[in-house]
Every structure is written in structure tokens, then in C-alpha cells.
Structure 1
Amino acid sequence: MPQEHEDKRGKAELIAAEFRALIMSGEWEPGYQLPTTDDLIAAHKTSNVTVQRALNILKEERLLEGVKGRGVFVHSRAPLTILPASFMAPAEDGQPYRWVTEAAKRGQRGSNQILRVEEVVPPRRVRQVLGLADDGVAVLRSRVGLLNDEPAELVDSYYPAEIARGTRLGDRRKIPGGSPALLAELGFPAVEQEDEVGARAATAREYAHLELPGAVPVLEIFRVVYSSDRRPIEVTVLTKPSHLYKMGYHLPVH
């Protein structure tokens, strides 16, 4: 029988991990009041210092909030599930990018901060999807997606240069209706999307742009959008703070 893998994390990290799972799963709902410090000390057979350290970890992650004279509560903002399919279709005529309209449905304010727009040699995997040589270039649009002015995702989207050159995809201006609307206007409607989702430690760039607390990992989504004849028209590497967001998918069963 294989030897059980030893968890070498400290007691505070273990308690924080247990509480984080309860919050992320919805078992502890927004506004739920945690047991008293004395009760937590007794339940986890530990010290006040350790309990406070665990609570502070989750306060820094914005999962818990303390109310003076009352106690500690699960943050009023629940971890949010994002449905990638809701952003695939072009925005309706005269409407903003679906990031904005989908946020409004949840009572949030969605916006984007453009970081870079330029022709670059993409990462190897992106080059492979786009069929580029080792020195081939694509148009990169890099941005931070904001919800209520807080960073929610870091997005690097790559477009075939022959499609993007001379269009709004290739300059820093925001695109009315977003890239799906512009690609459809250019004759390349999105008809299929593939997502690969993983989790990993954040890079320094992601840590800074997403304003991450501590060693919170990120969700990484590698996304390929295809037009007719399965032509790849957009490859995106998207990262999100894993403690605040989940990815939701609805897949029909045939």
C-alpha cells in the first residue's frame, strides 16, 4: 500500500485552506458569521495566534472581513462563476463588448484597461495553433479586465497578422462591441471555441496586474477561437485569481 503523502503546511495554512474550501463551495455563504475565536481554538486544537494568522490569510484574499465589535464574516461578495460561452457571440448592434453587458446583468461595472497592442513573435504554442514559423508574428492585444474597477483577469489575445493589420485589432483604441463583433464584420465569425483550463503559481507580471494577495494561484485558460473551416482567428492566454473566480461550462449531452 503506498505511503500517505504528508501535508507539510503549517497549521494556519491548513485551517485557511479548510475555510477557503467552505467559502468557494458556497457552504459558507456571503455574510455567514464564523464561530468565535474561542470556538475556533477549541475546534482546531490550536492557539489564538494560529487562528488569527489563518483568518488574516483569508482577509488578505478578500474572502473574509472583520466587523469591529461583531466578529468575522464571509465577504459579502461571493466567488464568481464566469461562463466563457457568454462572451463568444458578437455584441448586438450598438451594444458594448459582452464583458460589459454580462457584468451589468450581475449588477457590476465591467471595463478594460489596454496594456499593449503590437505585432510580436508569440509563444511557441500560439505559433503552432496559428501555423506560424518560429519567427512568425501575430498581433497581440493585452488587457486587464476590470469588474467594479478591480482586476478580474489578465488577457493576452493573439490574432493572425493578415487579418488584424490595418484594423482596430492592431491599434490601442477600444473596439466597439469587442473583438468578436469586429472579426465577424471582417468576415471571420466565431463558430467554435476550445478552452483548456489549468491552475498554477502566478508570474510576477500576473501578480502585479491582478493585485494578488500572497501566494494565491491563478487559473490559466488557453483559448482558441475558430471561424469557418476551423480557421483559428484568435488565441488567448487568460489568467484569473483562483480564489475569487470559477469557470463555468454548459455542455449539451448528445
Structure 2
Amino acid sequence: MTTTVPKAAPDSFDRRSLHERIAADLRDGIMSGELPPGGRLPSTAQLTSRFDASNATVQKALQLLKDEHLVVGRAGAAVTVREHRQRTVRPAASLAPAATGETHRWLGEAARHGTHARSVILDVAESRPPADVRAALGLSADGMALLRSQLLLIDDEPAELVASYYPLSIARGTPMTDRRKIKGGTPVLLAELGYPPRLSVDRVSARIPTHEQYEALRLTSSLPVLRTLRVVYTDLERPIEATVMVKAGHLYEVQYEFPPE
């Protein structure tokens, strides 16, 4: 039996330039593991044949991947996939408060993979959150919250831009308002204040980076970023934290684990 493939509409063809399409195929191979860290990319001759492209077009595609920090190489040498570039993030691993004496769960999770992680505080101030954060925290259109924003780095390269918002009724008069790191992270402090985290809900979307995100994460193209809105609830389903986390979409994948129902 022959299956007929529906004909594509005239406006549905891939309108990207050839070098962008070549880079997209190679990028997918890197992210899927088909082209593993430290492994060589196909040679220029192989790529020109595979994509029916000129040498200049292939080199332009490879330069895109170099600019995105996915591959390394120089003229006349083999181009290889960078080590530790594509990372898997397990959101559940960073949810629970850190035990006494432990580092923040996010930093500990990064160290588990043999990388050095650190965070830099960017701002601590009362601020008007984005609309979806206001809705999550039950704030009015002109409602304010305490903002704690930071940049997370892995091996001194920007990994994630984080903006956490807290109801002022909870945050005022606490160490959350200080421009310094909180030992063990805010989950520990919230629990000590009588607001133990009971439930976290993540909403993940892919978006084109804003100017702020582009610069903070040192992006080199308009590839989508992964934006996660995480809302944390305490007893009686009261929202106590809403965090917007943004990371480069071509460098990270998100892994969730749950038992079958």
C-alpha cells in the first residue's frame, strides 16, 4: 500500500538560507548525541556533498556553530564538538531545601557533573513583576513584589538568568531583602519563616530572547531560549515564590521524572 504525503503549501517551505539549514541539521545531531562531545564533525568535503553546497557555504554554517560555542576548530583542522556543551537539567533536583551545611541544590547538581558553578546577584529590589508572575502571585495590575535576580554560571560561562519574585508580606524585614546570597537558598529561609515549599509548578516555553537575555547569556544568534515560570506553593496552596528562569535553548534540555499513573 502506498502512502501519499500531503503536498506542502507554497508558504510552508524552509525559507532559511542554506548555511542556516546545514547548521540546524548539525546542531540537532549535537543535541541528540549523534555527534558526541569531543567527536569530529563530518569533513567539509562530506558536508558539501551531503548538502550540495559550496565550501564557502559550509564554512559559514560551521562558523555559526562556533559562535554558538557548540564546536571548536580552526582552518585546516578538524572541527569537533565542544565538551560539556549540551547539558541536561533536572528541575526536581533543585526543589528541596538544602540540608544543613550543603550548598544550594542547583550548584550541587552542577558539581555532580564535574563542572564548576557559581551565582552572581544582579539585583535585589521591590519591583513590578511581569503579568504572568503577578497573576501567579495573586497581585493586582500595579502590584509589587520583592525581586531577587541572579546570573548562574557554569565554568565561568553564563548558563541561566534567574528572576525570583516574593510577596512583600513575606519578604519584608527578612534576609531576602539583603543584596547577598542566602545560605542554602531561599527554600531554606522560607521554611524557617513558616512557609515550607509544598508544591512547585513549572511552565516551560520556547521564546526568542529579549535584549536583556541576549546580552546576559552572551548569545550570538536569535535561537530560542527556554523560559521556565516556576510557581512555588506552601500550605493551603498559597503562592510564596514565582521565578522566571531563562537558558539558551540550543545548550540545554529539561528532564522530568515521574511514575506512571
Deviation track 1:224-244 (CA, whole Å, cap 9, x = no partner) reads: 011111111100111001111
Letter in 2 for 1:206: Q
The equivalent of 2:167 in structure 1 is 160
Q: Secondary structure at the match of 2:40?
A: coil
1:171-250 alignment runs, 5 A limit: 171-250=178-257
Residue 67 (structure 1) shift: 5.3
Residue 140 (structure 1) shift: 0.5
Letter in 2 for 1:14: R
- Overall identity of the aligned pairs, in %: 48
- Give distance in 2, aligned partners of 1:3 and 1:51: 27
Letter in 2 for 1:243: H
TM-score if structure 2 supplies the norm length?
0.93
Match of 1:150 among 150, 157, 166: 157
Deviates more, 1:49-58 or 1:161-170: 161-170
TM-score if structure 1 supplies the norm length?
0.96
1:83-162 alignment runs, 5 A limit: 83-162=90-169
Asked whether the 8 Å contact 1:223–1:235 carries over to 2, the reply is: yes
Q: Secondary structure at the match of 1:71?
A: coil
- Would you say 1:49 and 2:32 are equivalent positions? no
The equivalent of 1:10 in structure 2 is 17
Deviation track 1:16-65 (CA, whole Å, cap 9, x = no partner) reads: 00000010011111111122211211121110000000011001111111
Runs of 4+ in 1 over 3 A off after TM superposition: 1-4, 67-70
Asked whether the 8 Å contact 1:67–1:73 carries over to 2, the reply is: no
Letter in 1 for 2:204: V
Residue 222 (structure 1) shift: 0.9
Deviates more, 1:28-37 or 1:168-177: 28-37
Question: CA RMSD for the aligned pairs?
Answer: 1.3
Residue 2 (structure 1) shift: 6.4
- Give distance in 2, aligned partners of 1:216 and 1:3: 25
Aligned length: 254
Asked whether the 8 Å contact 1:29–1:78 carries over to 2, the reply is: no
Residue 147 (structure 1) shift: 1.0
Deviates more, 1:57-66 or 1:95-104: 95-104
The equivalent of 1:71 in structure 2 is 78
Residue 134 (structure 1) shift: 2.0
The equivalent of 2:3 in structure 1 is none
Deviation track 1:144-166 (CA, whole Å, cap 9, x = no partner) reads: 11111111000111001111111
Q: Secondary structure at the match of 1:215?
A: coil
- In structure 2, the gaps of 5 or more residues are 1-5
Residue 203 (structure 1) shift: 0.4
Asked whether the 8 Å contact 1:32–1:74 carries over to 2, the reply is: yes
- In structure 1, the gaps of 5 or more residues are none
Deviation track 1:105-154 (CA, whole Å, cap 9, x = no partner) reads: 11111111111101112222222221222222110001111111111000
Residue 216 (structure 1) shift: 2.3
Q: Secondary structure at the match of 2:123?
A: strand
Deviates more, 1:43-52 or 1:69-78: 69-78
Asked whether the 8 Å contact 1:91–1:178 carries over to 2, the reply is: yes
